[in-house]
Structure formats: C-alpha cells, structure tokens
C-alpha cells in the first residue's frame, strides 16, 4: 500500500511566523502535490512537483513556496503566515507513469494561524 | 479550462436507501474520472475510477459509469450504511502542458442515519 505521511495533524502558528509542512511518500512516486481544503471551496492545488528540484505553480500559489530536495519528500513553506492561510492542507503523490493518474493522499494537517 | 460540478449537499439518507450523487464535467480531450471519499478527520481515499467512455468503476458496492455523451460520472450505491457517511469528491485528470494533475469538484457530504 502507498503511504503518504504528513509531519503534523494539527498545528497552531502566529501571524508572521515561517511555517514548514512536511510530506513523505514511500512508494517512489514521481509526482507530489500540495492542496488546501476549505469549506465550500473543495480542494485547490497550491503547488506540485514532477521531479526532484522541479516545481510548478497550481491554482493558488500566492503566499506559499515549496521544496523538493529528495524524491520522497515535498515541503510546503508559508514564508509569513497570515490568518487567511488557516486551512486543512493535504499532500498527495502519484506514480507519474502515463495512464496511471490517481493520487494518494496523506491524512492532512489542520493549520490555525492566530 | 476543465471543471467538475457536483450536487450540493448534504445528502441525508436512511440506512439501506439508494444513493445517487451527481457529477458532471467539462473537459477537453478524454480525461480519466475518479471518485474519492473523505471520512471525518482523514485524507482522501480513492474509491473508484474509469479511464474511458462506457467504463464502469466499482468498489465497496459503489458504482459509476463514464458517460461521454452526457459528460457525467454519477456515483451510485444500492443500499447505504451508516459507515458510508463521508464527503465524496468527483475528479477528472487534467493533462495540460504535459503534467498530470486532477481537478476536483467541491465535494458532497453524505449523512446516513440508522
């Protein structure tokens, strides 16, 4: 079974802090993704990565950056956290082989910025 | 761009009732279609998928058929259980610019009472 783990289930940070959310997958997947999930808005893609050190902007990249130094690890960084970044953050990975498109999700990190 | 529209919830049913959650999509090309389920406090899990027109995906008593003529992928189950209470997301594969991402609907909450 594919396993995607996220470093924290719950996180509380103060406005202006730098926040790191970590995601690790154990199935040698090429692609990794960060989403945020908000009530009434569903899942929105923040950034994704299709290879080590490569990244692409998703639909809502503003206020976020990412890092992928190793294939299994994908980090989401909030350079200066703001209250409107309070949300559930979900990491996912996918194999990357043509025709195999499904993504596997971690349990999520619920971030509260006060 | 691609989009997915799901019926708004919550859908409230009694145990053993028949379930339909509607999903329609707009896409260029021939996307793959997915249903994901999110149980309370957890990440998303792949429920079923279909990769081409007229394919039927099925899992755990749930079914959905890829209907290209109506651009739909409705989720059905003949007899729901209390344990099916969750949020259900319809999604399609998006391969713009050569990258494989997923576009999600906003989710439909299902509440099943005993």
Task: For A103, name the nearest residue in chain B, comparing CA atoms only.
Answer: B46
Give per-residue pLDDT as tens, A31-88. Answer: 999 999 998 888 999 999 998 989 999 999 999 999 999 999 999 999 999 999 999 9
Question: Cα–Cα distance between A77 and A113 in angstroms, integer?
Answer: 14
pLDDT of residue A37: 95
**A4, A31, A108 member nearest B100 (Cβ):** A31
Shortest CA gap B89–chain A (Å): 8
Q: What sign does the CA torsion over A73, A74, A77, A82 have?
A: negative
Quick check: B92 contacting A, CB < 8 Å? no
pLDDT at A12 over 80: yes
B39 contacts on A by Cβ (under 8 Å): none
A-B CB pairs within 8 A amount to: 47
Q: Which of B7, B61, B104 is nearest to A102 (CA)?
A: B104
pLDDT of residue A97: 62
pLDDT of residue B30: 83
Quick check: A4 contacting B, CB < 8 Å? yes
Question: Cα–Cα distance between B21 and B65 in angstroms, integer?
Answer: 12
pLDDT of residue A4: 95
At residue B94 the predicted structure's pLDDT band, cuts being 50, 70 and 90, is confident
Cβ contact, residue pair A106, B43, below 8 Å: yes
Quick check: A54 contacting B, CB < 8 Å? no
């Amino acid at each position: 079974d594919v396993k995607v783990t996220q470093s924290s289930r719950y996180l509380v940070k103060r406005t202006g802090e730098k926040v790191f959310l970590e995601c690790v997958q154990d199935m040698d997947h090429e692609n990794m993704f960060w989403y945020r999930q908000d009530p009434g808005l569903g899942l929105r893609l923040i950034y994704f990565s299709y290879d080590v050190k490569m990244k692409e902007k998703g639909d809502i990249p503003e206020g976020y950056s990412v890092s992928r130094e190793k294939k299994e690890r994908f980090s989401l960084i909030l350079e200066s956290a703001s209250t409107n970044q309070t949300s559930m953050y979900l990491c996912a990975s996918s194999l990357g082989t043509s025709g195999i498109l499904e993504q596997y999700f971690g349990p999520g990190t619920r971030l509260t910025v006060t | 761009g691609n989009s997915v529209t799901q019926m708004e919830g919550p859908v409230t049913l009694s145990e053993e009732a028949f379930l339909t959650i509607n999903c329609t999509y707009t896409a260029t090309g021939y996307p793959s279609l997915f249903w994901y389920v999110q149980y309370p406090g957890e990440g998303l899990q792949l429920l079923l998928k279909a990769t081409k027109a007229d394919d039927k995906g099925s899992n755990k008593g749930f079914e959905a058929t890829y209907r290209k003529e109506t651009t739909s992928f409705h989720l059905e189950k003949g007899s729901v259980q209390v344990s099916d209470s969750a949020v259900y997301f319809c999604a399609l594969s998006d391969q713009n610019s050569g990258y494989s991402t997923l576009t999600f609907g906003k989710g439909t909450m299902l509440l099943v009472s005993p």
